[in-house]
Structure 1
């Protein structure tokens, strides 16, 4: 069974098709089946593994280029798509991804124009304490596109990765409603 996922809808709603942050890994396996690959198990995880499904003990599952990260309670805590400067995002055989605007060479300016045209709320962050020369286009839902830029003149060189961490406290209030981000832009306002 293949699940279709639109990255535009993901940026708009924060739901990755039928998947969402906080979802139990067992629910994800019921929807997508076993992962194509998974992170190497630690000695502790390997010791706990007493069955033919070792991926259930891993903190990272891969479906094509989509990486799903789980917390200690085995709930989805982050989603990651890397190497977007090399190839279109892929979900392997189990996830059919509609990349919307994502493609190798996508510039920050092109992404901003597309988001403005579709009235997606976002903000651009130029500061990144861990990655020099990186700008972030952060959607209201918390999805974060990393763009490699030249440090000297802050000119975008292209899309690098998509990261969606479980930072719900930052992006959602206690009632589960999206918070308005300080300095955010919304297209055609």
Structure 2
């Protein structure tokens, strides 16, 4: 089992021993077979472009290189059978101000970006180039949208 801490991931862009550019074989040697894989038209796990361990998705290029680590479906990030996650402070719908305060307390530099295609959403981009998408405003015609953290992602 590989133990990882999201605080270090947000700081460095490395998830335990896993970093972008690693081969599929290297990820497999650390984590074993994924809990789920896809997309649905993939013929087998060896050719699947997405491997999912708990709430964390690993995306591979056609050259079998890891190019993205992503999560958008979590209450508190969990790692599945072979990936033990210390979530640090991360949880679903965490308010942007709460995340910024945690980053400041941990002395993790970050900057903010607007997301023009998604009104009311900002990206908090950390020193490790991890991008946390947070809804900070509701759209006028959608009273049911919830504010807060929606996803986090590290990408080439």
Q: How does the TM-score come out when normalised to structure 2?
A: 0.90
Deviating beyond 3 angstroms after TM superposition, the runs of 4 or more aligned structure 1 residues are none
- Shift of residue 130, structure 1, vs aligned partner: 2.9
Alignment of 1:34-183 (within 5 A): 34-40=33-39, 42=41, 46=43, 54-84=44-74, 87-125=75-113, 127-151=114-138, 157-166=147-156
Work out the number of aligned pairs and report it: 151
- Find the counterpart in structure 1 of residue 13 from structure 2: 14
Q: Does the 8 Å CA contact 2:119/2:139 hold for their aligned counterparts?
A: no
RMSD: 1.8
Which residue in the other structure is 2:29 paired with?
30
Name the CA distance, whole Å, in 2 between partners of 1:146 and 1:76. Answer: 21
Give distance in 2, aligned partners of 1:130 and 1:152.
Answer: 13
Unaligned runs of 5+ in 2: 141-145
Is the 8 Å Cα contact of residues 41 and 57 (structure 1) preserved in structure 2? no
Bigger relative CO (Cα 8 Å, ≥ 6 apart): 2
- Structure number having the greater helix percentage: 1
8 Å CA contact retained: 1:146, 1:159? yes
Structure showing greater Rg: 1
Q: What SS class does the counterpart of residue 11 from structure 1 fall into?
A: helix
Q: What is the TM-score normalised by the length of structure 1?
A: 0.75
Give the strand-richer structure, 1 or 2.
2
Per the TM alignment, residue 73 of structure 1 is displaced from its structure 2 partner at its CA by 0.5
